[in-house]
Amino acid sequence: MEVKHVTVLGAGLMGHGISQVFAETGKYQVTMRDVEQRFIDNGMKMITESLQRYVEKGIINEKNLKEILTRIHPTLDLNEAFEKPDLIIEAVTENPKLKTEVIAQADNLAPSHAIIATNTSTISITKISSATARPEKVCGMHFFNPPQLMKLIEIIRGEQTSDETVDVIRRTALTLGKEPVIVNKDTPGFIVNRILIPALNEAVFLLEKGVAKPEDIDKACVLGLNWPMGPLKLLDYIGIDTIVSIADVMAQETQDRKFLPNELLRQMVSENRLGRKTGEGFYNWIKEQR
């Protein structure tokens, strides 16, 4: 099967970036659907601003920018969203109940040939696909933040995902200029978060116990482990609330306490110190953005 038209469900942090990548690099026709106009408007604003930065850097020109935007079709309408996609990518909040409901709705309304991919970073693909009548056409397609820049895509099989579905998603990922990896066993957290969540928790533990300052913990990981970004800055960049949600799901699914988020992270969520998106986390982002 050849993918020509893509529907992205969600215009938020990940959804708008995924939509941009498909329209910009893959040159696909993209329908970006959300439930409120303000989400749509904000998603299109972020896409335009991202592309404008590329213009300023000489990566694309104004003509390219306009062409890319004409390939993105924002909508609130369910019928329009599911009229003709070959591939549907769910990119809503990391909430198992919500994701399952959205996937079930897509299954009911989308063409029978369409593949349904979820951008979940940790939730079981098998559980999500059980809400559909086409589990063989459901898989994980996990982009990393920001999707416009990060090269990796994890492709995750559910228990009934077909080889054909995995191959279509793999070939599609390559057209986006991405590097896909295949996760053959549907395990919570897949590859990256399975390794990352305990590491982030440990970095927060070191800070909480006064072992080192945030800047030194991050510098140690950048220079000692060759990480491109330190763990505390990464937490701020991803969003503290997002990491807590991921860690809670992984702890629940595995029944392993090593994935439970550090209590300092929960406290930061309660104080709305979520990192870059609220201006304060482990670092002061308001000062950096001036």
Catalytic residues: 121, 142, 154, 193
152-157 and 138-143 beta bridge pairing: antiparallel
Q: Which of 70, 17, 79, 7 is nearest to 42 (CA)?
A: 17
Q: In the block, which residue shows the tokens 């079709």?
A: 73
C-alpha distances out from residue 167 to 123, 153, 161, Å: 21, 13, 11
Sheet holding 72-75, edge to edge: 72-75, 29-33, 5-9, 87-90, 115-118, 138-143, 152-157, 179-183
